[in-house]
Structure 1
Amino acid sequence: MTALYNGMSREELDASYNSSAAVLNSAVLMAEFDERSAKLRAAHPQYLDLRYGPAPRQRLDYFPAARSGPLMVFIHGGYWNARPKESFSFLAAGPLAHGLHVALVGYTPAPEQSLDGIIGEIRTAIRWLSEHAMQWGTDPERLIVAGWSSGAHLAAMMLDEPGICGGLAVSGIYDLEPIRLSSLNDRLCLCPPDVPRLSPLRRPLSPRELVLAYGAAELPELRRQSETFAAARAGLPGELLRLPDHNHFTILNDLASPEGVLTQRACRLAGL
């Protein structure tokens, strides 16, 4: 087998980023997330599937807090090509308990949309929220952006958007070179010049605060991605959080819990 990246063949590289296979009960966890999300959506049905653009997946869900306050924009994962925003509604429960409004953004998946196009869709959604969310009690100057897995990559790419005051990136991918060399690129179609342009690690680093978090039980490559990005950002506002006893999926429970460390960090970023 030919070594392509850090001594790994393509097959080894694929396994190094396959969290669904590494977490044996990942399908059960996702089914639980779906069930919990359906309950939260039923409790907050007012502003679901709001259109920010004309494409079918260019929709977002807005969950207003009980009082006026800042907004957390959350971007879901799924390696840019899978999973809907609806599966992650459950995690709004933690921030909502502290008065932090939550919006979950959908986007057109690869390969129907390029990664450039997905990034553009997220920017459009954030700008739409900046223009419209005041009517539901959001302060457009107090937005934070958060994401999980590939959504953490997209969140990190949004730090320089107007109105964003900080970011929370959970279990993310910040250097796309191993992704380009893996089978995931069959859908993303990244070329070598795309990697420095679309990798948060290789772009000019934003001076806005960024909290990077990962689970101690994550795959080594995903742990390395967060640690390398945090080291590159040394001296800039932010921190690296290693959450014990969490894998790539269970770490989201920490954001869904009002007492979770990730919820606390999100609230702090938003000035609560």
Structure 2
Amino acid sequence: MGDWPGSDLSDEELDVAYNVRRKSGTEAMNLHLARYKTESEQAVAGLPGHPGVVYDETSGERLDVWGIDDQALRPVFVFFHGGYWFALSREESSFMARTLHEQGIATVVPDYTLAPKATLEEIVRQARAVVAWVHRHGREHGLDPDRIVVGGSSAGGHLTAMTMVGGWQQDYGLSEDVVKAVMPISGLFDIRPVTRIYVNQYVRLDLERAAALSPALLPVGARCPAVFVVPENDGTGFLEQSRLFQPHWEAGDLMVVPGRDHFDVVLDLGDPDSTVGRTLIDLVRSV
């Protein structure tokens, strides 16, 4: 399948580049994950919304809608959680909802069936089904179907990119430009390295399937505004992924966030005074 990011590295070197649990340390990672849960609970307490809505009849998966306004449709930020496609859920992933609500923006946080119960092809299908649901049913839930912004962290950054690329929208009856802007955080855009790291025990990819599921190797389609966020202290593989994909997209900015790592950078989405938080608000308002 030719050269790909890290194809010249040993298995040990690839693990160093992509094993962010190893880089951050288990204790620090667990502290950040606990913050995801606590800050999400605090963010949505008393917030107007529609939790637990089934968005995909095939899988039965659900999403939460937060931060709506009964008086007007709101632009919506759809956030796909990380966890290397095999961990986490929407319960830990709404920590930005209150901040966005205060800025006139609604938040949609979906679950997707985790690997290995679901294949990565199925997980991608579900991510696209989320976008289709927002476009078709957004109005009845306080969402503006013409102002959809998508973001996600790590594996969620990959899913974000799989909604950016072209060639899938027609199957869902959507226009190529249904996604108006994107913010992948620590995204994975050429996932062929996954075939040689520990994550593959869950997603079980070979090089051919990994290539078919790599946004960097798929048709670009309608380029929308994009901000590719990656923390300064991320794994080197994630840094390289964003640095390679951003020029390929030809319509986005690369933001390297100083002092942040793979796990804490995403929490900045809930801080309107942070560079990442301000940038997200400005991105949504621009569409």
TM-score, normalised to structure 2, is 0.86
CA deviation after TM superposition for structure 1 residue 238, in Å: 1.2
Q: Residue in 2 aligned with 1:263?
A: 277
Question: Identity, % of aligned pairs?
Answer: 27
CA deviation after TM superposition for structure 1 residue 269, in Å: 2.9
Q: Residue in 2 aligned with 1:169?
A: 184
Distance of 1:193 and 1:78 partners within structure 2: 23
| Higher mean displacement: 7-16 or 123-132 | 7-16
Distance 1:104 1:196, change over 3 A: same
Q: Residue in 2 aligned with 1:221?
A: 237
1:182-234 Cα deviation digits (max 9, x unpaired):
2211211212222332111111224222210101111111111111111323x
1:145-202 Cα deviation digits (max 9, x unpaired):
1110010000011024542111110011111111112221121121222233211111
Distance 1:82 1:57, change over 3 A: farther
Q: Residue in 2 aligned with 1:8?
A: 9
Q: Residue in 2 aligned with 1:35?
A: 38
> Unaligned 5+ residue runs, structure 2?
170-174
| Higher mean displacement: 125-134 or 100-109 | 125-134
> Unaligned 5+ residue runs, structure 1?
none
Distance of 1:20 and 1:196 partners within structure 2: 25
1:88-118 Cα deviation digits (max 9, x unpaired):
1112233222111110011001111111100
CA deviation after TM superposition for structure 1 residue 17, in Å: 1.2
| Higher mean displacement: 110-119 or 94-103 | 94-103
Distance of 1:195 and 1:137 partners within structure 2: 37
Alignment of 1:204-243 (within 5 A): 204-206=219-221, 207-233=223-249, 236-243=250-257
Query: Are positions 1:250 and 2:264 aligned together?
Result: yes
Distance of 1:194 and 1:56 partners within structure 2: 22
1:47-70 Cα deviation digits (max 9, x unpaired):
111111246761101002445321
Which amino acid letter does the alignment assign opposite residue 87 of structure 1?
E
SS at match of 1:71: strand
SS at match of 1:8: coil
Distance of 1:247 and 1:10 partners within structure 2: 23
Which amino acid letter does the alignment assign opposite residue 252 of structure 1?
V
Query: Are positions 1:68 and 2:73 aligned together?
Result: yes
Q: Which of 184, 189, 207 is the matching residue for 2:199?
A: 184
Q: Which of 99, 106, 117 is the matching residue for 1:101?
A: 106
Q: Residue in 2 aligned with 1:143?
A: 148
Which amino acid letter does the alignment assign opposite residue 241 of structure 1?
M
SS at match of 2:207: coil
CA deviation after TM superposition for structure 1 residue 260, in Å: 2.6
Distance of 1:229 and 1:204 partners within structure 2: 13
TM-score, normalised to structure 1, is 0.91
Which amino acid letter does the alignment assign opposite residue 281 of structure 2?
C
Alignment check: 8 A CA contact 1:20 1:27 kept: no
Alignment check: 8 A CA contact 1:212 1:239 kept: yes
Which amino acid letter does the alignment assign opposite residue 260 of structure 1?
S
Q: Residue in 2 aligned with 1:154?
A: 159
Distance of 2:124 and 2:45 partners within structure 1: 29
SS at match of 2:82: coil
Alignment of 1:109-148 (within 5 A): 109-148=114-153
Which amino acid letter does the alignment assign opposite residue 109 of structure 1?
L
* Equivalent residue pairs, number: 267
Distance of 1:54 and 1:141 partners within structure 2: 23
